[in-house]
Every structure is written in structure tokens, then in C-alpha cells.
């Protein structure tokens, strides 16, 4: 079997390659270049490439660099800026997986191979005559929420060699095998920013637009801000107001007003329902096509779901509405419900990730 292995320079993808070689495979290694290094925004690409070259030498494999900078800029970065401009909270990593790692790469290189292997914590489940995106035993490291915009075809073409392992086991294998990335820290944040501050990046494209900071209880103007796009709900730092602590509790994107409160209670921002638009089903739409994997009755079904920043899966009931959107009634209040983020839907047993939808303003 011909396998293309995406190697990032991190420990997860390195162990994935190590395991493939231990199993007798001889994958070709590929490093995807997406950082905007020619425009002041860069990932630590040289350090990454040193590890890629070391892995290739150690296992006698070939490696190549696939330049997807333009694809990344035209799709992921443009998506991020557009969402922020419209007051949403985007998730670039989700779109990077769908459009770049499993999209543009496959169009340029991956389609020449039987499978594309990555270091994601996920699995592929072959059941009911189809390929499904499966979760992993380690709920903390499970990455199916970042893969929830993939298509069924992309899943069927994928391999996740470390998918059934916990992070500690992956680290142990890397140390015992003396892999060059064994002690490298996990990457954090958005790759293309490099060491650039997120607000500096946003300012470059959206600029500044002064507006009032208003106390929500009294309507009193407490200060000025430089644009609603620099602020998020629940934010405490960066307001530069005296007599605090003050928290951002609401944004008026049409009037460019930031509302704050001193008596902010996190529970007040928790929700027990949400609406999703642009629902994306990975393998099939279970509300349109019956399947034993996820039976639906009367356009309603019990589900587990996940929202970014909430580690565990939570339960609720999903209903399809007449306008094509979906309503999720949660069994318990949940924080982190931000329009623009993805709500990821799982089967009631948490075994299969079915898809995701974008949380809407409602």
C-alpha cells in the first residue's frame, strides 16, 4: 500500500511514522508549508524541517515539502478575517484540516497514494458499509472536533496510526525509540502567526475603529476601545478601565459598542440551547438517510456534542428545523457558546463523530 505521511515536526506525527515503519510500511514523508514567512508571519519551519529530515534519514524514507501557502491564505486566513470582521469567533484549525491537510494536499499529492497518514488522535471505523470518523480512548486528546468538517471520502482515505493511543503512551514510544521530537512541546495557537500577536495580525487587516465601552447595567460610557473585533465575551484583560475587575458581556457589532459589567458571573453567559446553521455531515445526513449508526425519529435524536474549550462530551437532543437549521437542547448549561464556533455532534455512545455546524446568532 502506498502511503503519504504528513510530518509536522511534532511528536505525534513522528510516532505515527515510526509505527507505520514498525508495521512494515514504507511511507513517503511530506511537510506542508503554510506559514506566511515571506510576509512577516511564520511558523518555526526550519526546526520542523530538521526533524523531518532526521526522520527520513533514520528510516530510509523520501521527503518533500509541499508549498500550500497560497491555498492557506486564500482559504483559511481569508475565512478567519471574514468571520472576525462580522463579529464571529472563528476556528481556523478546523478549516485548515478540511481545506489544506485533507483538501489541497490531496488534490496536489495525496490522490496519488492509497492512504494519507497523519498524527491526529482519531480513528476510522468501517461499519454499515461506510467509513466513519471515530473517537479515541483519550477524551482529553481526542481531535475529532478539529476534523469534524471533513468529508466521508476524506475520512476513507485517511490513516491515524496513533488513534487508539493516549498521549502518555505516544510520548513513551517516542522516548524509547529516541525520536528527534520526543521532548518537543505540543504546538499552541494559530500556526501562520508565528510569534506575531493575534491583535496585531487582526489590526493589519481590519485596522482600528474607536467606539465606546459601556456599563451594561447603567448605560454609562466608561472608556473607549479600538474596535469590537479585538474583544471577546468574558474578556477581562485589555480593557484598561479603573475600578474593576470589568468583563466584556456583550458586543454590538453594528454600532461598534462593547458592553462590560463589574458584576459579571460566568453562569450568566452559560446556555442550555443553541442553533446551528450550515450543518456539515461527514459520512451521510442521518436526518435524510436512515442508518443503524444513528437512528433519527421525527427529525429529533439524542446526541453527544462538544464545543471548543469544553473538554468533555455533553448530552442533548438535536432537532432539525423547517428552515434547514438545527436546534440543540442541552441537558445541562454549557459555557463557551460563541457564534461562529463549531458545535460538533456525536452518536449517543460517543463512538462516532457525525459532523458539525456553525453556531449562529439567535
* Catalytic sites, residue numbers: 96, 191
d(CA 206, CA 104): 27
d(CA 239, CA 242): 9
Q: What is the distance in angstroms between the CA of the first residue and the CA of the last residue of the chain?
A: 49
Nearest CA among 61, 71, 79 for reference residue 33: 71
| Number of H-type helices and E-type strands within the chain | 9, 17
Report the 3 state secondary structure along 253-306. CCCCEEEEECCCCHHHHCEEEEEEEEEEECCCCCCCCCCCCCCCECCEEEEEEE
Nearest CA among 170, 145, 131 for reference residue 304: 145
d(CA 82, CA 88): 9
CA atoms within 13 A on the CB side of 68: 27
Q: How far is CA 112 from each of CA 71, 105, 170, 227, 285, rounded to the nearest angstrom?
A: 19, 11, 29, 46, 29
**In sequence order, which ranges of the chain are alpha helices (DSSP H)?**
11-22, 45-59, 69-72, 78-85, 92-96, 105-108, 152-156, 167-176, 198-206
Q: Given strand 63-67, what is the order of strands in its sheet?
A: 63-67, 28-33, 3-6, 115-117, 158-159
Amino acid at each position: 500500500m502506498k502511503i503519504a505521511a504528513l510530518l509536522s515536526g511534532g511528536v505525534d506525527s513522528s510516532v505515527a511514522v515510526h509505527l507505520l515503519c514498525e508495521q512494515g510500511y514504507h511511507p513517503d514523508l511530506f511537510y506542508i508549508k503554510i506559514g506566511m514567512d515571506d510576509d512577516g508571519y511564520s511558523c518555526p519551519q526550519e526546526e520542523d524541517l530538521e526533524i523531518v529530515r532526521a526522520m527520513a534519514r533514520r528510516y530510509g524514507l523520501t521527503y518533500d515539502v509541499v508549498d500550500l501557502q497560497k491555498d492557506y491564505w486564500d482559504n483559511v486566513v481569508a475565512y478567519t478575517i471574514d468571520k472576525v470582521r462580522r463579529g464571529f469567533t472563528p476556528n481556523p484549525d478546523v478549516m485548515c484540516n478540511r481545506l489544506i491537510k485533507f483538501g489541497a494536499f490531496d488534490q496536489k499529492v495525496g490522490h496519488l497514494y492509497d492512504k494519507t497518514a497523519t498524527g491526529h488522535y482519531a480513528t476510522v471505523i468501517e461499519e454499515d458499509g461506510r467509513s466513519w470518523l471515530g473517537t479515541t480512548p483519550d477524551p482529553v486528546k481526542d481531535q475529532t472536533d478539529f476534523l469534524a468538517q471533513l468529508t466521508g471520502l476524506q475520512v476513507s482515505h485517511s490513516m491515524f496510526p496513533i488513534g487508539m493511543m493516549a498521549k502518555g503512551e505516544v510520548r513513551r514510544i517516542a522516548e524509547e525509540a529516541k525520536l528527534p521530537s520526543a521532548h518537543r512541546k505540543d504546538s499552541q495557537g494559530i500556526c501562520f502567526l508565528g510569534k506575531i500577536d493575534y491583535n496585531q495580525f487582526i489590526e493589519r487587516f481590519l485596522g482600528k475603529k474607536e467606539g465606546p465601552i459601556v456599563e451594561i447595567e447603567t448605560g454609562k460610557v466608561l472608556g473607549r476601545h479600538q474596535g469590537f473585533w479585538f474583544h471577546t465575551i468574558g474578556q477581562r484583560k485589555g480593557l484598561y478601565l479603573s475600578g474593576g475587575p470589568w468583563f466584556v458581556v456583550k458586543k454590538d457589532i453594528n454600532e461598534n459598542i462593547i458592553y462590560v459589567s463589574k458584576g459579571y458571573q460566568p453562569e450568566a453567559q452559560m446556555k442550555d440551547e443553541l442553533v446551528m446553521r450550515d450543518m456539515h455531515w461527514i459520512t451521510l445526513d442521518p436526518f435524510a438517510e436512515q442508518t443503524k449508526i444513528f437512528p433519527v425519529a421525527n427529525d429529533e435524536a439524542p446526541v453527544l456534542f462538544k464545543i471548543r474549550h469544553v473538554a468533555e462530551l455533553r448530552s442533548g437532543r438535536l432537532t432539525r428545523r423547517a428552515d434547514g437549521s438545527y436546534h440543540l437542547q442541552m441537558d445541562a448549561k454549557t459555557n463557551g457558546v460563541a457564534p461562529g464556533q463549531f458545535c460538533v455532534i456525536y452518536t449517543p455512545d460517543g463512538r462516532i463523530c457525525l459532523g458539525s455546524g456553525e453556531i449562529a446568532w439567535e
